[in-house]
Amino acid sequence: MSQLTPGYDVQKPSGFCLATGRSLEPGEACYSALVDIPAEQREPNDELGMKRVDVSVDAWQQGYRPAGLFSFWKTTVPDPQEKKKTFVDDAVLMNLLRRLEDAEEPQRLAFRYVVALILMRKKLLRYDGVEREEASNPEAEPPAREWWLMTPKADVSKGHFGKWNEDETLRVLDPKLDEAGVEQVTKQLGEILEAEL
């Protein structure tokens, strides 16, 4: 797998409502969303194929949804003078993990893998084993793929005290990132979600 581009530019909060164009003031509640960028509209640095947009609470409640909506969360516009301390809800991370289940692009596979690592660290996913898929051609690169088999918590709002959902198994492809690759994806994910991960 190709490594992530070191200079990947992640869009931070825009400071304006996508629906109305008005400025969003520090401390104001709004909705942030990840939207898919169609392949033909991507810039060379849009490796993940997603961007973050912000929508005012009023516009959201009136039914406005950005095109290509992938995932969203409610947040507060940060004060540029304050140190970042926003945390993303665990349900948002679990939703991202599930929404990326059919991802095939290397960058999205890496993104999903790091989300799984974060959820494991938070004890919201349990590692149960590995499923190995051998390549049909022994000389192929990579020669085999490994899928981590994981069990999620039944209710992430209860944190690590909740019960495991023994009826669900999540499969997460191990993209074989090195430590630097994991760190880079984690940083990008934190910047997109405006969270400390």
Q: What is the C-alpha to C-alpha distance for residues 184 and 197, in angstroms, rounded to an integer?
A: 12
Give how far the C-alpha of residue 39 lies from the chain's centroid of Cα atoms, to the nearest Å.
Answer: 18
Q: With beta carbons less than 8 A apart as the criterion, state whether 59 and 93 touch.
A: no
DSSP symbols for 88-113 = --HHHHHHHHHHTTT--SHHHHHHHH
Q: With beta carbons less than 8 A apart as the criterion, state whether 156 and 135 touch.
A: no
Q: Which residues contact 83 (CB under 8 A, 6 or more apart)?
A: none
Positive or negative, the CA dihedral 11, 16, 18, 21 is: negative
Q: With beta carbons less than 8 A apart as the criterion, state whether 31 and 65 touch.
A: no
DSSP letter assigned to residue 77: P
DSSP letter assigned to residue 47: -
Q: What is the pLDDT along the chain (197 residues), one digit of tens a residue?
A: 333 333 333 356 788 999 999 999 999 999 999 888 887 777 766 666 788 899 999 999 999 999 999 888 888 888 777 755 545 688 888 998 999 999 888 888 888 998 998 899 889 999 999 998 876 666 656 567 899 999 999 998 888 888 999 999 999 999 988 888 777 777 777 766 665 55
The one-letter amino acid at 135: A
pLDDT at residue number 4: 34
Q: What is the C-alpha to C-alpha distance for residues 59 and 32, in angstroms, rounded to an integer?
A: 12
- What are the boundaries of each domain within the chain? 8-84, 87-197
pTM to 2 decimals? 0.60
Residues in a beta bridge with 151: 126
- Burial class of residue 189 (count of CB atoms within 10 Å of its CB; 0-12, 13-18, 19+): buried
Q: What are phi and psi of 159, to 5 degrees?
A: 65, -155
The one-letter amino acid at 61: Q
Both tokens of residue 19? 């629906």
pLDDT at residue number 142: 58
Q: What is the C-alpha to C-alpha distance for residues 58 and 29, in angstroms, rounded to an integer?
A: 10
